[in-house]
Chains A and B, each alone.
Chain A
Amino acid sequence: MSTGRLPWALWRAQILAILRLEMKKTFVHRLWIYLLAFAPVLLYAFHSFVQLKNGRQGDLGEDTHIFAAVFQFFFLRLAIFFGCVGIFMNLFRGEVVDKSLHFYFLAPLRREVLVVGKFLSGLLAAVLIFGASTLLQFAAIYWYFSSNTVQEYLFHGHGVEHLAAYLGVTLLACVGYGSVFLAAGLLFRNPLIPTVVVLVWEAVNGFLPEVLQKISVIFYLKSLCPVGIPAAAIGLGRGNPLALIAVNPAPASPATAILGLLVLSVVVLALSSVRVRRMQIDYGAD
């Protein structure tokens, strides 16, 4: 079948129907994801409040490094990571546990279209939650500076550029971790096992040989972060091997990083589609 004859309009309509059904489920009943996502906003708001009380004695450069460190160590590696576990792992797994997956399997729907529809619904939710958090974090950390300083940083420094890069990294993190945890939800009954495995793999990524580093999400995300974290800023000397967690000695170029992450996600989603195509409804076994 040539691509011209594929029923794109039908698939688009079916994906929209899946999105309508899934979005409601994805946004509600997950309070802990919101807490995780917006915790840095509260932290920065408190920091700004204290700075305002102390007469604005902060340093914009220092805050930029704090933002970069919190973004890499907490937001990417924990908040988005576990948020994606909660959202994407449940797209199929949650419905098997609720015994409601057959609703989709009884519709005239290609299973591949179902995978895409569910992934997009998870992605939309994750990007809206974590994207909003990134924006609010950015606003909250620089809130206490005078408007002139902020405008100078945004429009004459690298502020807007940094914000766009952080939003882009957030989006790509949701794509990367989303695809990985959607697949994990299909392969494992117990979500703890893949979560721990991926968490450890991502954590030790900096110590792995270069080839293996590329089979991870964090490698590409670190390469795209706009502000590097000086090892000294996190209390590690230059020779300390733990500095490798923060620093990427051989970062990929932005194009390679974006393409690498997208390719990784597409491959994982393609494998997930094959898995869903072969999937049987056997709630009793679960």
Chain B
Amino acid sequence: MNRQEADQRIVFEDVSKFYGEVLGVNRVNLSIPAGITSLVGPNGSGKTTLLNLMTGLIRPTRGRITVLGISPDEPERLFRKVGYCTQFDSFPKGLTGYQFIYSYLRLFGLEHRAADRLTGQAIERVNLAEAAHRRIAGYSKGMRQRIKLAQTLCHQPSALVLDEPLNGLDPLIRAETIALFRSLAQEGLTVIISSHVLHEVDAISDQVVLLSNGYVVAEGQIHGVREEIHEQPMQILIRCNKPGDLASLVFQQDSVVEARIHPEGHSLLVKTRDADRFYLLLNRLAQGGINIESVAPADDDVLSVYEYLIGTEEPTK
């Protein structure tokens, strides 16, 4: 990777972090591009440790980290480009939502007018305008989460690091927040999200990093990660008019290990060790009188990949 590429990515080179003798993360090598990347793993897998390492709140025991070309040891440069929404649910005492964001922006050296304008924009963006001048101590969990998001966004950073950002949000705000993350990623921002809610991760991520016990188990686009799991046959769901006929045909293929007709009678679930060959076969079968309505991978999602790789330590589905 050349210097210019590294300046646009978040790069971990052989990073380990130990808390005394307790392992935080071990030998992590990652190169995270722009777009939405989710860190997924059970509690204690090292998600927050990775986020704290990339923002300099903790230091690696070994290895090197750069965030958009900047070392986390230089907060004065790093946080002009990065916003971090931590899991800490605590705030400087006595501040209103407005004061919290405004004070943070004044720490950038901004003058009153600029800080005031950016504060207003950030608070609007998370729909907290009505509560802006109330003390944070009186906010609900969801409102506190949103004011932290406003703080993360207020200085218009190039990278967002979000530790469980959807915690405590009601379904409507959750949907709006996910839409906000998507729009930010489309604007070219690097968005790192740690989450244990797999269906949300599945819905928003361009790529995932799966963690277990401090190790990166897999990383990349979810489809690619799934394809790398050779020991688990790919599951493909086919809707067609003759699932019984199709089942007898596909069983003749060596790579097919299981074919099951769905109880409602219009679909066939096939497990195959060679998905590419199977798709080619389906093209031929479609020309032979079986009317195939749709074909879709059935286990090419974060939940399935998580279960295959991490197994029983299940986070929230």
Interface residues of A (CB under 8 A from B): 9-10, 13-14, 16-18, 20-21, 24-25, 28, 95, 98-100, 102-111, 278, 280-283, 285
Contact = CB atoms under 8 A, between A and B. Distances in A.
A103 B79 contact: no
Nearest to B78: A108
B107 A108 contact: yes
B121 interface: no
Given A25-B94, A107-B79, A110-B75, A280 B107 contact: no
Contacts of B4: none
A107 B88 contact: no
Nearest to A280: B58
Given A20-B106, A108-B75, A109-B76, A103 B52 contact: no
A18 B107 contact: yes
B101 to A, nearest CB: 11
Contacts of A110: 75-76
Contacts of A105: 56-57, 75
Nearest to A283: B88
Contact of B109 (A13, A24, A28, A99): A13
Interface of B: 19, 52, 55-59, 75-80, 84, 86, 88, 90-94, 103-104, 106-111, 151
Given A280-B57, A280-B58, A281-B58, A107 B90 contact: no
A107 B110 CA distance: 12
Majority secondary structure of chain B interface residues (helix, strand, loop or mixed):
loop
B75 A20 contact: no
Contact of A99 (B75, B79, B90): B90
A281 B79 contact: no
A104 B57 contact: no
Contacts of A9: 109
Interface hub of A103, A280, A281 (most chain B Cβ within 10 A): A103
Contact of A281 (B52, B80, B106): B52
A21 to B, nearest CB: 5
A106 B160 CA distance: 12
Interface hub of B52, B55, B106 (most chain A Cβ within 10 A): B106
Nearest to A105: B57
B21 to A, nearest CB: 14
Nearest to B106: A17
Contacts of B59: 278, 280
5 contacts: A13-B110, A100-B90, A104-B107, A108-B75, A111-B75
A99 B57 contact: no
Contacts of A282: 19, 58
Contacts of A285: 19
A73 B75 CA distance: 44
A231 to B, nearest CB: 47
A143 to B, nearest CB: 37
Nearest to B79: A108
Contacts of A17: 103, 106-107, 109
Contacts of B76: 108-110
B93 A25 contact: yes
B86 A13 contact: no
Contacts of A99: 88, 90
Nearest to A104: B107
A108 B80 contact: yes
A80 B88 CA distance: 35
Contacts of B94: 24-25, 28
A104 B78 CA distance: 13
B93 to A, nearest CB: 6
A125 to B, nearest CB: 15
B109 A14 contact: yes
B75 A103 contact: no
Contact of B84 (A100, A104, A106, A111): A106
Q: What are the nearest 5 A-B pairs in CB distance? A: A17-B106, A107-B107, A108-B79, A99-B90, A281-B57
B78 A102 contact: no
